[in-house]
């Protein structure tokens, strides 16, 4: 094969790899409770205003007090790598060791709690808005896990309204998002091509609707009044439990047992799709680390084996059922899989989770790997859901996608 052809093939392969969408890397089993914190006690989807701090926390349960390092990379709206070099989006340096860590205190499970704050003395400032990936490496330069976060500028006002579906077939099961973007006197050049919108339900990027283009332009306003294109399945309120006092049965916990670690057995849940909707306040899939009589739950909260159980109806048997929530960034893997116990006629699973207040639901994973969130919990238009709308803009001649506005809405005020 001619060398020139080999060289061309190599360039094409590298180009294809370089411009493919990047995905978050899930952590190994010994890394737990990864969360971003900001101005709320619970973990959150990290969408920060330019100049604000982002705080990443995680626990390493191997007891080795390992060194971990971080890198920060900038991406386009579709999570392909941007052409910016580090000096264009960052003041300072990354690839630095995470220096702030503490060991657990008064817990059966030994762990080290790591905290990374950006900006810091080494990474002094992130200079531009847009999509970012924070990657954590070990001392052998192996990627341990990665998480997405976003930085926005307040250059546009984003109005968000939650409506019922216009499609009679789904009027009881879906919620529709209407958006009005006001540019605050910043002219939009060719908004059909240069303005892109992402809609996120309950901080879950896996189900986000992306690349929505404006339907109408009225002066400086962009109007989005789609039906199918901006509709989400409504789902149902999340199930929850609380075990801030690990030695006593709390909300959702039926019994406890102490072995090598504490074991908490939750009440058996049941299928809700065929039952009437019941309002049940939740925190929309999120979780909060809590420990009673502790000054610092980050290092004083213990890890507990949580035992889940689900009573199936006949149509759910032989289905691939998983536990779903923000406690593991909505990842579906072997640790979340429910196993059918024929002798007790229930699906069961045990997960090692840090003490706190947790939301979760059961979902069905289809053979094509798609997730059916409503198969077990149902879909009800009355369900209270949070929505965030992220607005990207690339001006004529610009080299990267800015995030120029962030809007939020809640379906508690849903209307027709």
Question: For residue 233, what are its two tokens?
Answer: 């399945």
pTM score, two decimals? 0.89
Domain(s) labelled CATH 2.60.40.10 in the chain stretch across: 23-152, 157-235+382-413
Residues 316 and 271: their CA atoms lie apart, in Å, by 9
The CATH superfamily of 157-235+382-413 is Immunoglobulins (2.60.40.10)
What residues have CB less than 8 Å from 69, skipping those under 6 apart?
95, 96, 97, 98, 136, 137, 138, 139, 141
Predicted confidence pLDDT, tens digits, the chain (416 residues): 444 444 444 444 443 434 567 889 999 999 999 998 766 555 667 888 898 888 999 999 988 889 999 999 999 999 999 999 999 999 999 989 999 999 999 999 999 999 999 999 999 999 999 999 999 999 999 999 999 999 999 999 999 999 999 888 999 999 999 999 998 778 888 888 899 999 999 999 999 999 888 998 888 899 999 989 999 999 999 999 999 998 888 889 999 999 999 999 999 999 999 999 998 889 999 999 999 888 899 999 999 999 999 998 888 888 999 999 999 999 999 999 999 998 888 999 999 999 999 999 999 999 999 999 999 999 999 999 999 999 999 988 889 999 999 999 999 988 88
The CATH superfamily of 23-152 is Immunoglobulins (2.60.40.10)
């Amino acid at each position: 094969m001619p060398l020139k052809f080999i060289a061309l093939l190599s360039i094409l392969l590298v180009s294809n790899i370089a411009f493919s969408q990047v995905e978050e890397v899930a952590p190994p089993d010994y890394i737990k409770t990864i969360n971003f914190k900001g101005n709320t006690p619970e973990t959150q989807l990290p969408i920060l205003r330019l100049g604000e701090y982002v705080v990443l926390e995680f626990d390493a349960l191997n007891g080795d007090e390992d060194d971990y390092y971080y890198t920060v990379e900038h991406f386009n709206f579709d999570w392909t790598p941007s052409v910016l070099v580090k000096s264009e989006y960052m003041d300072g340096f990354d690839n630095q060791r995470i220096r702030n860590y503490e060991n657990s205190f008064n817990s059966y499970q030994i762990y080290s709690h790591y905290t990374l704050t950006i900006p810091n003395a080494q990474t002094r400032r992130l200079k531009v808005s847009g999509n970012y990936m924070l990657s954590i490496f070990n001392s052998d330069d192996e990627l341990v896990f990665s998480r997405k976060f976003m930085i926005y500028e307040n250059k546009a006002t984003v109005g968000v309204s939650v409506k019922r579906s216009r499609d009679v077939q789904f009027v009881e099961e879906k919620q529709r998002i209407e958006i009005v973007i006001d540019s605050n006197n910043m002219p939009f050049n060719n908004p059909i091509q240069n303005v892109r919108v992402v809609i996120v339900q309950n901080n879950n990027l896996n189900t986000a609707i992306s690349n929505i283009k404006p339907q109408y332009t009225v002066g400086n306003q962009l109007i989005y009044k789609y039906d199918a294109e901006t509709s989400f399945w409504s789902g149902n309120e999340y199930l929850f439990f609380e075990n801030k006092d690990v030695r006593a049965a709390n909300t959702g916990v039926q019994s406890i047992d102490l072995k090598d670690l504490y074991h908490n057995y939750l009440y058996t849940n049941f299928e809700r799709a065929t039952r009437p909707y019941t309002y049940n306040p939740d925190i929309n899939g999120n979780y909060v680390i809590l420990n009673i009589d502790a000054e610092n739950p980050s290092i004083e909260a213990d890890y507990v084996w949580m035992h889940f159980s689900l009573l199936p109806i006949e149509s759910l048997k032989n289905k691939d059922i998983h536990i779903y929530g923000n406690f593991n960034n909505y990842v579906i893997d072997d640790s979340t899989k429910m196993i059918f116990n024929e002798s007790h006629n229930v699906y069961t699973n045990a997960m090692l989770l840090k003490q706190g207040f947790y939301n979760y639901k059961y979902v069905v994973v289809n053979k094509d790997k798609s997730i059916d969130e409503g198969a077990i919990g149902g879909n009800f238009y009355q369900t209270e859901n949070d929505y965030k709308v992220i607005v990207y803009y690339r001006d004529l001649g610009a080299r990267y996608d800015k995030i120029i506005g962030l809007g939020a809405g809640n379906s508690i005020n849903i209307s027709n």
